[in-house]
Structure 1
Amino acid sequence: MFSFRPANLPSLHPIVAAIAVLYNSGAWAQQTDIMPTVTVQGAMEYEGLGLARQSATASRLNLTAQELPASVESLSADTMQARGDLQVKDAITRTTGLTDTSSPGNGVAYSARGFAGNGSIALLENGQRPQVGSGTATYPSDPWGYEYIEVLRGPGSVVYGSGTTGATINAIRKAPQRLTSFEAMAGIGGGKALRGGVGATGAFGEKGAFRLDAYADRSDGFIDRGQSRHGKILSSMAYALAPNLDVDLSLDHLEQEPQRYFGTPLVGGRISRELRDQNYNVGDADISFKDDKAVARLTWRVNPALSISNELAYMKAHRNWRNVEYYSYDTQAKLVERSDYIAIQHDQEQTGNRLEARWNASSNRMVAGWEAATINFTHTNNSPYGGSSTVAPIGFNPGVFDSPDPLRPNFNTDTTSHALYLEDAYTIYPSLLLLAGLRHDQYKVERVSLLGAAGFTSRLHSNTVRLGLTWTLAADTALYGQVSSGSDPVSSLLSLNLANSRYKLTGSRQVEAGIKQSLASGKAEWTAALYRISKDDIITRDPSNPALSIQGGEQSSRGVELSSSVNLTQEWRLEANLAYTDARFDQLIEGGNVSRAGNRPADVPKMSSNLWLNYRSNGWRMAIGARYVGERFIDNGNTQALPAYTTMDASLGWNVNRNVLLQLNLRNLADKLYASTSYSDSQYLLGDRRHAELTIQWRY
């Protein structure tokens, strides 16, 4: 493990040295003296939509994407690297219908199929899901060390429990391999960005394998005081204890210091180009996240058809914020008014266990399991977040954090969860697959006030089901349909307050139908999906007494999603996707007894799309892409909207030799001034200006 030094990038020398020691130790003396070479071909096969790949996210039965009666999409490490995606959110928002809603307050967050935020979009790593505390999720943030990332669109509660109505995102780690290989990456770019990563895998004794990945980056950003730093070490080992008994272990440490930027104030209701580079936070602002995770998995293959596994996971997180977060521009005085001097800390520990049995015999595949977890969450803050100041728009002294309110532990929650699930894939005929699943979740949340207020105990539960049918018309064409249900909490379970403790989980239902087709031996692939999702029991006002909040609101969405990947020639490939989302509140009353029925939920664009044109030949590869995000409202009243935007990116790569790749990544080619998301009605978070980054990669 390592720690950041405020002014320096964490050194990678100890990591490189450790890997060198491993390679030269006796444990690998049995291996060949010559490390095998991983050859980077001049003209590589394109992966396309990955319809033949087994999905680790949409089901626990290892069905391929084409077999699944659901919308699932994958991004390989090679695809992300070829496009120059240096953050996970860059890659995710190139998939169909996913929109970034991240901010310094929620870490990483997305919108999908009409639903937004970490209470409706689940983020996982290798199928492990940290519970969300106070709406915040902090990883995965960068793609280094991951084999691919999968996105399941629509409710995934049958597989992962509550909080998955919109989508489930799962980052799949690179697994240990006995065949020795090594990779490294270094990059330099705009905003004084520096980054580096190393990865190695090889044999561990006669029966095991290891993998170690390390990554660090730093940047001064494209705004004043826009520094950010990230780093991580991912380690894993696989070992055969007996011919039919395996153990897999992983131990990870991640540290992040994101950019301490909470947006740029609007001037006259518009984004001001003159203020594009300004940061109105205080000079001693602080944001830091630390995450540790350990996982142990034991797998017993009882016989060729039956396997039993037990997975024990421990996760720990510490998060810290100290910032001035609210800004508004006074047009008369031509000054920026700052308020909300906010200091918050999260301390979270989660221990979970999953016991699972899988049966795979001829036409029937089945999995059954039990999950249990305990999560301790402590919230410390300086509520009611007083303090204010005024600064000039440009050339100001940022000042220091000076709040009249002390930072004190506020509350602690202990959450216990239990779940039972069953999933079955039955091949009725060679061309007809029936997939059925059901799940029962129970949650118990005990909250204790650390300021003397009343505590409470809340119990919640949900039952979710999925029934889907895939009809394979031909070896390369499948039609599917499914009905599924899900549930979301009305707020983060770990930070449930007294007002929300009486509410049950919201319920969602989805109907979906689609087609998946692979043509010309995979040279062309396309998918289409139609869906409708409704969500009940969202918080609304009591029509007979608007002063009271009750459950009884409803929102829904319906839409169409199209994805395609086509080899135009041997060298050229076109990739495109399009999502149209018609989302609305069917029943919602807010303050003042105002109905929002018919309005579109916040952070949901009607239209989003991506287009990529790729070229690979004779050691060269090039790509140019465009991303379009439609207009999004920032409030349920639909009174203010983020403008639609289109950005363009490009990359140019050259295989110097069979082991070394040099790549230039270009971002925001037209230097578009746009808002990626809003932080309040008076300030928007702006996207990065035009910039370039040069990376070099080694693979041996």
Structure 2
Amino acid sequence: MKFLKESPAIRSMARLPAHATVACALAGTPLLSLADTPAGDTVLAPVKVTGQRTDNPDYGSSLTSVGKMPMAQRDIPQSTTVITRQLMDDQQDTTLREALRNVSGLTINAGEGGASGDSFTLRGYSVATDLFLDGVRDAGQYSRDTFNYERVDILRGATSMLYGRGSTGGVINQVSKSAHLGDRSDLELSVGTDDYYRSTVDLNRQTGDNSAVRLNLMGQKSDSWRDGPEFNRFGVAPTFRWGIGTPTEVELSYFYLKENNVPDYGVPYNPVTKEPIDKPGTFYGLPDYDYEDTTTQIATATVKHRFSPTASIKNTLRYGQYERDLMPSAPRLNAAGAPTDNTPMKLEHKTRLGELDIWSNQTDFNFKLFTGPLTHNILTGAEIGRETSDVTSWRHKSGANLTGGTVGNPDHNLRPSDPTPVITGQTEFTVDTLAVYLQDMIEFTPEWKLLLGARWDRFDGDYTRMTVSGTTPVTEHYTRKDSVLSYRIGPLWQPSESQSYYAAFGTSFNPSGEAYSLDPKGSNTPPEKNRNIEIGAKWDLLDGDLLLRTAVFRTEKTNERNTDTDASPDEYLLSGARRTDGVEFEIAGRLTANWQVFAGAAIMDPKITRAVGNDAFKVGQRPENAPKHTYNLWTTYKFAEGWKIGGGLNAVGRRWAQPTLSGANSLPGYIRWDGMIGYETRSWEAQLNVYNLTDTTWYEGLYRGHAVPGTARSARLTVNFKL
């Protein structure tokens, strides 16, 4: 099997002469250790060997957990990507956003309406609600930190069969660090430009023969190259494990992340050029008034039991609480025509106070069946959960907008004349979810396999909205219940352990209320349906050190909601359609013992293919935040004793916001170059990372009313002590 081939011990054995290899293999068997013992010799008692887990020092990982259980990437008939801890460390990726720049076909941010936190687009479709933490939905609006990551797994294309609602463009699964046998201590300190300070602690202690505890801590304080925004965060993540290496294992974990930021809503668009105004270094918010405070708490209990080498069960119980208090200033031009330095400005205050609570329980049963010449690797399970969202919208009594300052001279001291808060609306959305699923990986021969899977989901939403018209509150109540069947099928041909070729077909759905809201029409509208068709290949080269993959795909939404208010008085017509055709390439791993590389490319043709009524003009246009191409490259080389140098690029093509009759706002494409140099000893290592080496102007966040500039040239110096 592939994971055996990856073992250093197996590789060492493979380099021995044939007779020595056989002897080593037989030495562990009772036949040789007892039957071949000469008479009169002393037979020693068995020795129990335990070892400390070692981190993967490579950019390539043959294993992934996006299939709800650890699997070789080559055995998944769908595009997969694994961002390893080593890659994140070499790039000094401290946020999920930074780590995901290594994913071809993925772009950052698209949305409006007070949204904050992480929002991504994959293959031209939003995956803002398709983020998972250790296989459980992580739906809160917050900026995720990597301090407790072991790796990040990505599965592309429609995959509701595994993860339920959403997942049109794919899913992103964050894999947490876990306690392990053996002791380990790491202290990392970072300092950088723009008053950047960060420290992390990673402590692991073995507490018994089969138990361990691990604690990860993080603190960060930083400003921005744009004078005004601030980013402050603190995190703690303890994990306890009992029964490591035994048939029954229990793991308890807690995750806490606190943010106190001055949010950055970027710059407005030029109404003539439809691009951001040429003021990327200017901050238009209110540094001493705007704020974004989030608190994320996640508690998880996992129990695993292994009945036999071919049968196991896992149950995961989780409670997550996400709190968010947001008052940013979104900059807008307060005059028509091409802006000048004297054009007046307006700030829109998008105030939100919200809490999201999620209870979830997942049970997965994995076992093998043998029916004649066929081997069935079966995964079956059930999920049940409740998600409750409470959001309060408010404004200042004197109004939601502030007017003052100009494009060339923003006024950071603007304040409402009457700051008394006035509630403008409250919403409460409760959704009960239930799902059962069955997947079978059928092995006909060692070369031919077939993956079949189906899942039934029930999504039962209850929505209450209170709005204020004048001084009179108006309360509305809507419900929507949907039951949907999703499925996937994928044949694989693996002529050798280094080759895997596949075809895949899968479906997904987006129910009304997926984003925790409903309206009169939405309550009468069935789910959108999506499908993914894909042909691909995966190769494990250089004895598994180098992983290559490629895929040709079509990801398609077959019945998109038409939000044209004139189309139907009672419901949103599912009369729209769009698709993304594309090809992807990826390479990850070692070219030599000292040379590592991680690179990817996605060439896509995203297009709206059907729209009716007042939206008919959108046909043929590109969906928002869907570029035609993305490229990423990162490579490092070890030279001399302990030295390492590396660098790479991230390139994204032009992106458009929501299509409008007057033309869509857009962001120009860009290429950003980064570099690093490091030195490592047995007890410490130092590393210097420089970002945006050429100091190019580029934009990270795409919103319909504004764009957020990416960082200018900056640097971080990091020292890690291995205590």
Say which is worse superposed, 534-543 or 320-329, in terms of deviation. 534-543
For residue 341 of structure 1, report the CA deviation from its aligned partner: 2.1
Tell me, yes or no, if the aligned pair for 1:661 and 1:696 is still in contact at 8 Å. Answer: yes
What is the match of residue 118 of structure 2? 108
The whole-number CA distance in structure 2 between the counterparts of 1:377 and 1:647 is 38
Code of the residue aligned with 1:577 in structure 2: it is G
1:49 aligns with 2:60: yes
What is the match of residue 614 of structure 1? 636
1:373 aligns with 2:385: yes
What is the match of residue 252 of structure 1? 255
What is the match of residue 409 of structure 2? 394
For residue 624 of structure 1, report the CA deviation from its aligned partner: 1.1
Name which of 422, 426, 429 aligns with 1:406. 422
The whole-number CA distance in structure 2 between the counterparts of 1:678 and 1:543 is 26
Code of the residue aligned with 1:365 in structure 2: it is N
Other structure's SS at 1:430 match: coil
Tell me, yes or no, if the aligned pair for 1:523 and 1:566 is still in contact at 8 Å. Answer: yes
- Written as runs of structure 1 = structure 2, the 5 A alignment for 1:539-618 is 539-540=561-562, 545=567, 549-565=572-588, 567=590, 569-589=592-612, 592=614, 594-617=616-639, 618=641
What is the match of residue 495 of structure 1? 517
1:627 aligns with 2:666: no
The whole-number CA distance in structure 1 between the counterparts of 2:163 and 2:526 is 18
The whole-number CA distance in structure 2 between the counterparts of 1:130 and 1:405 is 31
What is the match of residue 360 of structure 2? 352
For residue 259 of structure 1, report the CA deviation from its aligned partner: 4.1
* TM-score with structure 2 setting the length: 0.84
For residue 644 of structure 1, report the CA deviation from its aligned partner: 0.6
The whole-number CA distance in structure 2 between the counterparts of 1:612 and 1:160 is 30
- Written as runs of structure 1 = structure 2, the 5 A alignment for 1:78-89 is 78-89=86-97
Other structure's SS at 2:146 match: coil
The whole-number CA distance in structure 1 between the counterparts of 2:72 and 2:567 is 52
1:67 aligns with 2:75: yes
For residue 684 of structure 1, report the CA deviation from its aligned partner: 1.6
What is the match of residue 343 of structure 1? 351
What is the match of residue 671 of structure 2? 646
What is the match of residue 199 of structure 1? 202
Tell me, yes or no, if the aligned pair for 1:351 and 1:373 is still in contact at 8 Å. Answer: yes
The whole-number CA distance in structure 2 between the counterparts of 1:565 and 1:247 is 33
What is the match of residue 422 of structure 1? 438
Name which of 228, 233, 236 aligns with 2:231. 228
Code of the residue aligned with 2:458 in structure 1: it is Q
What is the match of residue 708 of structure 2? 685
1:138 aligns with 2:142: yes
For residue 158 of structure 1, report the CA deviation from its aligned partner: 1.1
Tell me, yes or no, if the aligned pair for 2:109 and 2:121 is still in contact at 8 Å. Answer: yes
Other structure's SS at 1:159 match: helix
Other structure's SS at 2:321 match: strand
Name which of 499, 505, 520 aligns with 1:477. 499
Code of the residue aligned with 1:174 in structure 2: it is K
Name which of 520, 545, 550 aligns with 2:542. 520
CA distances 1:502-553 after superposition (whole Å, capped 9, x unpaired): 2222111111111111222134431110111211221215698478842221
For residue 642 of structure 1, report the CA deviation from its aligned partner: 1.0
The whole-number CA distance in structure 1 between the counterparts of 2:593 and 2:312 is 43
For residue 309 of structure 1, report the CA deviation from its aligned partner: 2.6
For residue 491 of structure 1, report the CA deviation from its aligned partner: 5.3
What is the match of residue 39 of structure 2? none
Name which of 694, 698, 706 aligns with 1:674. 698
The aligned length equals 648
Tell me, yes or no, if the aligned pair for 2:555 and 2:581 is still in contact at 8 Å. Answer: yes
For residue 272 of structure 1, report the CA deviation from its aligned partner: 4.8
Code of the residue aligned with 1:601 in structure 2: it is P
Tell me, yes or no, if the aligned pair for 1:263 and 1:678 is still in contact at 8 Å. Answer: no
What is the match of residue 6 of structure 1? none
Code of the residue aligned with 1:583 in structure 2: it is P
**Given the superposition, is the C-alpha separation of residues 202 and 369 from structure 1 closer, same or farther in structure 2, using an over 3 Å criterion?**
same
The whole-number CA distance in structure 1 between the counterparts of 2:617 and 2:569 is 14
For residue 337 of structure 1, report the CA deviation from its aligned partner: 2.0
What is the match of residue 469 of structure 2? none
**Given the superposition, is the C-alpha separation of residues 423 and 39 from structure 1 closer, same or farther in structure 2, using an over 3 Å criterion?**
closer
Code of the residue aligned with 2:142 in structure 1: it is T
Say which is worse superposed, 528-537 or 542-551, in terms of deviation. 542-551
1:510 aligns with 2:532: yes
Tell me, yes or no, if the aligned pair for 1:417 and 1:441 is still in contact at 8 Å. Answer: yes
**Given the superposition, is the C-alpha separation of residues 509 and 107 from structure 1 closer, same or farther in structure 2, using an over 3 Å criterion?**
same
- Written as runs of structure 1 = structure 2, the 5 A alignment for 1:122-133 is 122-131=130-139
For residue 611 of structure 1, report the CA deviation from its aligned partner: 1.9
The whole-number CA distance in structure 2 between the counterparts of 1:546 and 1:403 is 41
1:694 aligns with 2:717: yes
Name which of 213, 216, 222 aligns with 1:213. 216
Say which is worse superposed, 657-666 or 407-416, in terms of deviation. 407-416
The whole-number CA distance in structure 2 between the counterparts of 1:298 and 1:543 is 50
For residue 628 of structure 1, report the CA deviation from its aligned partner: 0.6
Other structure's SS at 1:455 match: strand
For residue 46 of structure 1, report the CA deviation from its aligned partner: 6.3
Tell me, yes or no, if the aligned pair for 1:96 and 1:609 is still in contact at 8 Å. Answer: yes
Code of the residue aligned with 1:632 in structure 2: it is R
Code of the residue aligned with 1:640 in structure 2: it is N
What is the match of residue 460 of structure 1? 482
* TM-score with structure 1 setting the length: 0.87
Other structure's SS at 1:494 match: coil
For residue 561 of structure 1, report the CA deviation from its aligned partner: 0.1
Other structure's SS at 1:436 match: strand
CA distances 1:583-620 after superposition (whole Å, capped 9, x unpaired): 11111236x45431111101000000012232113201
The whole-number CA distance in structure 2 between the counterparts of 1:187 and 1:354 is 38
For residue 409 of structure 1, report the CA deviation from its aligned partner: 5.7
Code of the residue aligned with 2:587 in structure 1: it is S
- Written as runs of structure 1 = structure 2, the 5 A alignment for 1:179-194 is 179-194=182-197
Say which is worse superposed, 339-348 or 163-172, in terms of deviation. 339-348
The whole-number CA distance in structure 2 between the counterparts of 1:349 and 1:39 is 36
Tell me, yes or no, if the aligned pair for 2:402 and 2:414 is still in contact at 8 Å. Answer: no
The whole-number CA distance in structure 2 between the counterparts of 1:647 and 1:272 is 20
CA distances 1:178-223 after superposition (whole Å, capped 9, x unpaired): 2111111110001101000001112224432111101111111112
For residue 94 of structure 1, report the CA deviation from its aligned partner: 1.2
User: RMSD in angstroms over aligned alpha carbons?
Assistant: 2.6
**Given the superposition, is the C-alpha separation of residues 545 and 220 from structure 1 closer, same or farther in structure 2, using an over 3 Å criterion?**
closer
For residue 69 of structure 1, report the CA deviation from its aligned partner: 0.7
The whole-number CA distance in structure 2 between the counterparts of 1:47 and 1:667 is 22
For residue 569 of structure 1, report the CA deviation from its aligned partner: 4.7
Tell me, yes or no, if the aligned pair for 2:249 and 2:303 is still in contact at 8 Å. Answer: yes
The whole-number CA distance in structure 2 between the counterparts of 1:490 and 1:338 is 34
For residue 442 of structure 1, report the CA deviation from its aligned partner: 0.5
Unaligned stretches of 5+ residues in structure 1? 1-35
Say which is worse superposed, 592-601 or 383-392, in terms of deviation. 383-392
For residue 576 of structure 1, report the CA deviation from its aligned partner: 2.3
What is the match of residue 16 of structure 1? none
Say which is worse superposed, 161-170 or 637-646, in terms of deviation. 637-646
Other structure's SS at 1:560 match: strand
**Given the superposition, is the C-alpha separation of residues 418 and 220 from structure 1 closer, same or farther in structure 2, using an over 3 Å criterion?**
same
**Given the superposition, is the C-alpha separation of residues 375 and 395 from structure 1 closer, same or farther in structure 2, using an over 3 Å criterion?**
closer
Tell me, yes or no, if the aligned pair for 1:414 and 1:445 is still in contact at 8 Å. Answer: yes
Moved beyond 6 Å, runs of 4+: 36-40
What is the match of residue 33 of structure 1? none
1:437 aligns with 2:441: no
Tell me, yes or no, if the aligned pair for 1:224 and 1:279 is still in contact at 8 Å. Answer: no
Code of the residue aligned with 2:687 in structure 1: it is Q
Code of the residue aligned with 1:603 in structure 2: it is N
